[in-house]
Amino acid sequence: MQKIVIATKNPGKVREMAAALSALPFDVVSLAEFGELPDAIEDGKTFAENALIKAAYYQQQTGCACIADDSGLEIAVLDGAPGIHSARFAGFHADDATNNAKMVEELQRAGVSESAADYRCAIAFVDEDGAVLTAEGRCDGQIKLTPRGTNGFGYDPYFYPQEYPGRTMAELTLAEKQQISHRGKALKVLAQKLEAGQE
Ligand SMILES: O=c1nc[nH]c2c1ncn2[C@H]1C[C@H](O)[C@@H](COP(=O)(O)OP(=O)(O)OP(=O)(O)O)O1
Ligand SMILES: [Mg+2]
């Protein structure tokens, strides 16, 4: 069975990616299996560029087929910020808590308590021989200043997806999030492309 490495250092992404790929006939493993690898340099200008940078970099590092995700949150009243800079919104040593605090601060500075927003996800797969498959997904909703829920990761406690009025992404189960999320949609398209390649 072909080995596929889930090439991300984000445990929240690993959970969602592993769940989406579990039904496929691949031996799906995590990056942890390869020890401490230096971070990829995410200097692309788009989610798609960064996803491909990470997939190609980790494919080189591991010698195995790799699947990488680049994703982020675009907030309308902040002109699409933090966008591709979502992981480092609060600076170099940012984490989910400091990024969320920075987001609340920026919305308050803009004088609003909510804004239209969307999550974006680009997925890239690079196989052992360097062949590439890609997919993208988007999820629309609202950011509000009242956080709720403990599931998911990142900005999820503040993101109210349009499919579930009154609930945040952090109040959805993994299966519910997977159905509507940017990552779930991108992974579904990628899984179809991977399966087509197996025939
Ligand atoms: O479903 C999501 N729910 C909540 N927040 C999310 C989601 N999807 C992306 N995000 C946020 C988290 C992070 O601030 C940024 C991704 O940044 P991004 O560089 O792609 O990932 P990362 O640095 O965490 O891990 P890695 O690059 O190793 O895959 O967007
Ligand atoms: Mg990153």
State the distance from the centre of ligand 2 to the C-alpha of 199, rounded, in angstroms: 33
75-107 pLDDT, tens digit per residue, is: 999 999 999 999 999 999 999 999 999 999 999
Q: Phi/psi of residue 99, each to 5°?
A: -65, -40
Q: Is 156 in the pocket of ligand 1 (CB under 6 A)?
A: yes
Order of strands across the sheet that contains 114-126: 27-30, 3-6, 65-75, 114-126, 132-144, 159-161
pLDDT of residue 165 exceeding 90, the answer is no
48-80 pLDDT, tens digit per residue, is: 999 999 999 999 999 999 999 999 999 999 999
Ion ligand 2: protein residues whose beta carbon lies under 5 Å: 87
Percent of the chain with pLDDT over 90: 97
Q: Is 153 in the pocket of ligand 1 (CB under 6 A)?
A: yes
Q: Phi/psi of residue 155, each to 5°?
A: -85, 5
Q: Which helix (H) or strand (E) holds 132?
A: strand 132-144
Q: What is the pLDDT of residue 198?
A: 74
Q: Phi/psi of residue 168, each to 5°?
A: -90, 165
Please state which CATH number belongs to domain 3-198.
3.90.950.10
In sign, the C-alpha dihedral spanning 15, 125, 79, 182 is negative
Buried b (16+ CB within 10 A) or exposed e, 6-37: bbbebeebbbbbeebbeeeebebeebeeeeee
pTM of the model: 0.97
Q: Which one-letter DSSP state was computed for residue 39?
A: P
In the residue annotation, 70 being an active-site residue is answered as: yes
